Amino acid sequence: MTQPSFDPHLSATQRVTRALEGAATPAARHVFTQLFTDGAHAAAQRCDAAFLAGQRLGALQGVCLTLKDNMDVVGTTTMAGGVVCAGEAPAQHDAPVVQRLRDAGAVLLGKTNMSEFAFSGVGINPHHGTPVNPADTSQARVPGGSSSGAAVSVALGLAEVGIGTDTGGSIRIPAALCGLVGYKSTQARMPCAGVMELSRTLDTVGSITRSVRACLTVDAVMSQQPLPTDAANLRGLRFAVPQTLMMDDLDATVARAFARTLRLLSEAGAQVVEIPFQALGDIATLSMPGGFSPIEGYAAHHVRLERGADRIDPRVVARMMLGKGISAQDYLELHNRRNAWIEAAQQTLSGFDAMLSPTVPLVAPLIAPLMDDDDAFFKVNRLLLRNPSAINYMNGCAWSLPCHQAGELPIGLMVSSTAGQDAHLARVALGLENFMHSLHA
């Protein structure tokens, strides 16, 4: 495995000191909900001592990372970006993924801000403020959600890895809008115990980093199922480009970058095949009457809603309440329809190495117009979630890779496949990343 890159001239203690100093700057305002200052320094000192003694603590020895606010860390109350959980019992144990990260030598800097209860693709948080996307220093743009602080912590260089969760794109959306790499694996590969749930059917733990190899290293630690790290040769690979849903309403910058990427891949010898994939247009209807996130989110949080809805983001409350009163019959039929849809989707994508689409159809919108305008907020939220959430519905795996050029706001290329294809998709993602790096060499 290849360790995530960091400055080899700095000790772990020096990197932690720089990260914590950076966390106090205006650019990092609203990124963290909690800093583990003492614990991070202690972990860094252990890593440095082990290094000097010639000892190997693990694949992530000395790597600085952040944890999304919905993950259990022993001794702290899991708040999930909100305030209504204040006073609940602190976690008695680390979430399994958190314990695995510690065991691999990672240095945990703190918990990062997020859309409350992970229920938004925008990243706005009314309780803790909204981290500003570092990609544009002239205007305050959304970071993407729900793993907003996770992405910004990496984009600012405070952390080498941001650990997040992805229910409908919550890793890939902020990765795309902030110009980073995000990976959502097939759900079954990753333990979700100790992670405050939104949708038991869809939630997946993953990471945001600056490279595919770094994500693979972190994934191997969290899943304990290492994926290949040899890149596929793009020549001869077959890529499906769906013409239903995912190409709708692209803004000009995204459309231009995506078309350019497909052209360059074709010129490099890859086969790019446009397919109808009309079933993508059926997801909204099949998800009636509520969809998994509202139904399961309401089930998971109804006690908090009942005791303190006035202390929860009203936009989150509105979406969760859509799941109230759904019958067991409707819920099971929702699963049955999804299972049938997945089987058909697997047949559609059979014979392709991956599916390509824009991760999201627009560049990062400005924060201010979305703060007080519910209609504008929900329109943007639907657009941001639309493409990546289709992969969660498919129970698939997916990467978001940067595909913008200098002078463009960040744009993500989503590289996806069906359930269980993580190993092959990892090789494809490495090949695509190598190819795109070669274009700028």
The residue ranges of every structural domain in the chain are 12-223, 238-286+340-365+381-439
204-256 tens-digit pLDDT: 999 999 999 999 999 999 999 999 999 999 999 999 999 999 999 999 999 99
pLDDT tens by residue, 418-435? 999 999 999 999 999 999
The CA-based dihedral angle spanning residues 171, 132, 111, 32, taken in that order and rounded to the nearest 10 degrees:
180
Residue 177 one-letter amino acid:
L
Stretches in the chain below the pLDDT threshold 70? 1-8, 441
Task: Encode pLDDT of 94-117 as tens digits.
Answer: 999 999 999 999 999 999 999 999
pTM of the model: 0.97
3-state DSSP of the chain:
CCCCCCCCCCCHHHHHHHHHHHHCCHHHCCCEEEECHHHHHHHHHHHHHHHHCCCCCCCCCCCEEEEECCECCCCCCCCCCCCCCCCCCCCCCCCHHHHHHHHCCCEEEEEECCCHHHCCCCCCCCCCCCCCCCCCCCCCECCCCCCHHHHHHHHCCCCCEEEEEECCCCCHHHHHHHCCEEEECCHHHCCCCCECCCCCCCCEEEEEECCHHHHHHHHHHHHCCCCCCCCCCCCCCEEEEECCCCCCCCCHHHHHHHHHHHHHHHHCCCEEEEECCHHHHHHHHHCCCCCHHHHHHHHHHHHHHHHHHHHCCHHHHHHHHHHCCCCHHHHHHHHHHHHHHHHHHHHHHCCCCEEEEECCCCCCCECHHHHCCHHHHHHHHHHHHHHHHHHHHCCCEEEEEECCCCCCCCCEEEEEECCCCHHHHHHHHHHHHHHHHHHCC
Residue with structure tokens 């969809």?
291
Residue 439, pLDDT score? 86
- Residue 8: what pLDDT? 65
Say what the pLDDT of residue 440 is.
Answer: 78
CA dist 161 and 365 (Å) reads 24
Q: What is the CATH number of domain 12-223?
A: 3.90.1300.10
The confidence score (pLDDT) of residue 7 equals: 63
Q: Give catalytic residues, as residue numbers.
A: 68, 146, 170
17-53 tens-digit pLDDT: 999 999 999 999 999 999 999 999 999 999 999 999 9
Pairing mode, if any, of strands 412-417 and 181-184?
unpaired
